[in-house]
Amino acid sequence: MQGDNNFDLGLLNAMNNRLLKDEGIYRLLIDKSGEAFAYYSFADRRTECLGDWEHFFGFSANEYISISQIMDLVDSSYTAELYECLMLERRGKEKETIEFRLEGKDLWIELETTVIYDGNKNPLTRMYCFRDVTKYRVLNDELSYMAYYDSLTGLLNRNYFVKCLEEMIDKAKSNDCIVSVLFLDIDDFRRINDSMGLIVGDEVMQKLGMVLRDYVSDNVRVSHFNGDIFCIAIYDPVGVRSVDNVIKTLKKKLETPFNLSNGAETTITLSIGIAEFPESSKEAMELINLAEIVMFKAKHRGKNNVQYFDAPIIQEFIYNIELEHKMEKALKAGNFFMCYQPQYDADGVHLRGIEALVRWRDEDGRIISPGSFIPVAEKNGTILQLGEFVIEQSLADYSRLIDKYGQKDVILSINISAIQFKSKNFVNFLMNTIKKYNVPPTQIELEITESVFIDDMEDIVAKMNVLREIGIRFSMDDFGTGFSSLSYLRSLPIDTLKIDKSFVDTVVTDGPTRTIAEAIIDLSKKLGFDTIAEGVEEEVQYSLLKNIGCENIQGFYFGKPMEMEDIDKLYKEY
């Protein structure tokens, strides 16, 4: 009997040791988990705490812990919600999880409360589990920031801006309000990148972003769309947030140069397009697109300009888009052809030259004006392909005239766009084509406009000098309509000045215009340039220009642009 008692006692000791060992393992696991637990029994009102309470609340699990102790440490904005979760049985719920932050700390805590009930829905036990979720919260905040904000400027990104604009429009529909969208583009931003580098370019956008951030409010949203493009959406644009006031104050702020980290200073201007709900459109994306379209119109007007949406601009844009598609097909189908307009000396006897003019006959047989398709070609880049066609075809036509009738003292004048002249392959292509058709370079004159010198005058002049060395002449087209400067004119390797048609049109009726024309002709003679007046259509214009010393005349009065068949006859008879 005694042996049985000893056995029972040994078994009890073994079981107790096993339980103590298991409890030690469980406590160790709980301590290493980094979590804190509290178990409360409703029957005997006993609380038992385990885990790293000190990490969360600054006191150990061995101390008496009350709900009020925890509540005193919590950020006041979370106390009401936290108390509801701590006293979960009051709402008869079994499980709930919330996140909260302690006062004055960057510690985010997740509380999971679990309550077990008996069959009559009376609470038996309640367990709290506190977890440190700070790193997950930070990661989530970073992901949220990436989802909504632009990393370079801190402004809204494009996707979130569109969402905010849609919400503004929905609100405006209910309240019968206006929403304005401003599409902003930094003028000549490429020049900043090219001259100062991409890093400085990013810094300029950051500086502009800081300026634009001052406008952000509950009714104003600002976005860095992409590249050097920014967007502003204004709900109910009145008072200080009116479009006029925003633009006025923004331009004033941008008068102050940006101080850059490399020690340099730079100022920027903006081209701005504006479209409004509901007048322009009732859809967010369409509003943005319309504002972008009219922004290009503002830039075309000379940059640092503002353009509001109106229907004719959009019609023009749609027409140009259609023209772009037609041009691509026309270039492949060979629907472009050459005409040539004669240039005579002032006596109208000597054929000075012929100017090559490209024309486009569409699929319906209609002739599309160069004034319509040349600007489109320059914008979409097809001017390079079109320009090569003009050089190739005009030199081929001129070569056939020489082969047929011999070389005569007649100049072939070819218009070259600024984009074409600046292309890397231009000089080689031109020289190879001249060689291909065996045309004397001394009989070729390239017509360029003043815009070709705007970006890199030194490089352009160097190219001109290379071509002049083989005998090619240069003519300044549309002189007097651009940024004409007498100081640079004397240093350019040009041979001829062309007086623009805008002067010729009013030279008879307008005294100041006549004075300017006389001054251009007098200046040209003193600098050793030839002069050609283009667009001469009436005898009275011709007589006046001849009397004030213009040396050459071009225009309908002496001859319209002709196709090769008529030029063949003209060249033959000369």
Segment 275-321, tens digit of pLDDT? 999 988 899 999 999 999 899 888 877 788 999 988 777 777 777 77
CATH of the domain at 380: 3.20.20.450
**Domain co-membership, 174 together with 245:** yes
- Name every residue whose Cβ is closer than 8 Å to that of residue 254 and which is 6 or more positions away in sequence: 211, 267, 268, 269, 270
Domain boundary among 250, 278, 309: 309
**Calpha distance 401→207 (Å, rounded):** 61
**Domain co-membership, 331 together with 279:** no
When pLDDT is averaged across residues 98-113 and rounded to a whole number, the result is: 90
Whether 21 is covered by a domain: the verdict is: no
> Residue 7's pLDDT band (boundaries 50, 70, 90)?
very low
| Nearest alpha carbon to residue 507 among 553, 451, 474 | 553
Q: Tokens in use for 477?
A: 């087209």
> Residue 330's pLDDT band (boundaries 50, 70, 90)?
confident
Is the CB of residue 538 less than 8 Å from the CB of residue 519? no
| Nearest alpha carbon to residue 271 among 316, 234, 301 | 301
pLDDT of 482 over the 60 cut: no
Task: From residue 329, give the alpha-carbon distance in Å to each of 4, 333, 392, 483.
Answer: 107, 6, 19, 36
Domain boundary among 309, 342, 359: 309
> Residue 19's pLDDT band (boundaries 50, 70, 90)?
very low
Highest-pLDDT range among 58-67, 281-290, 305-314, 434-443: 434-443
> Residue 20's pLDDT band (boundaries 50, 70, 90)?
very low
Whether 27 is covered by a domain: the verdict is: no
Higher-confidence residue of 316 and 22: namely: 316
**Domain co-membership, 253 together with 357:** no
**Calpha distance 432→229 (Å, rounded):** 41
Q: pLDDT of 241-280, one tens digit each?
A: 899 999 999 999 999 999 888 888 899 999 999 999 998 8
**Domain co-membership, 448 together with 301:** no
| Nearest alpha carbon to residue 412 among 567, 530, 557, 573 | 567
Provide the 10 A C-beta neighbour count for residue 32. Answer: 10
Whether 462 is covered by a domain: the verdict is: yes
Whether 169 is covered by a domain: the verdict is: yes
**Domain co-membership, 285 together with 200:** yes
When pLDDT is averaged across residues 84-92 and rounded to a whole number, the result is: 92
Residue 162, H or E segment: helix 158-175
**Domain co-membership, 330 together with 377:** yes
When pLDDT is averaged across residues 424-451 and rounded to a whole number, the result is: 94
CATH of the domain at 158: 3.30.70.270
Domain boundary among 309, 331, 350: 309
The reported pLDDT for the residue numbered 451 is 78
**Domain co-membership, 111 together with 161:** no
The reported pLDDT for the residue numbered 313 is 74
Which domain, by its residues, includes 224? 149-309
What's the domain count of the chain? 3
pLDDT of 548 over the 90 cut: yes
**Domain co-membership, 421 together with 549:** yes
Higher-confidence residue of 244 and 8: namely: 244
pTM value > 0.75: no
pLDDT of 26 over the 60 cut: no
**Calpha distance 560→191 (Å, rounded):** 41
Q: Tokens in use for 47?
A: 């609380």
CATH of the domain at 60: 3.30.450.20
Euclidean distance between the first and the last CA atom of the chain, given in angstroms as a whole number: 147
When pLDDT is averaged across residues 476-501 and rounded to a whole number, the result is: 75
Whether 13 is covered by a domain: the verdict is: no
**Domain co-membership, 299 together with 323:** no
Whether 395 is covered by a domain: the verdict is: yes
When pLDDT is averaged across residues 142-169 and rounded to a whole number, the result is: 85
SS3 352: strand
The reported pLDDT for the residue numbered 303 is 82
**Domain co-membership, 210 together with 334:** no
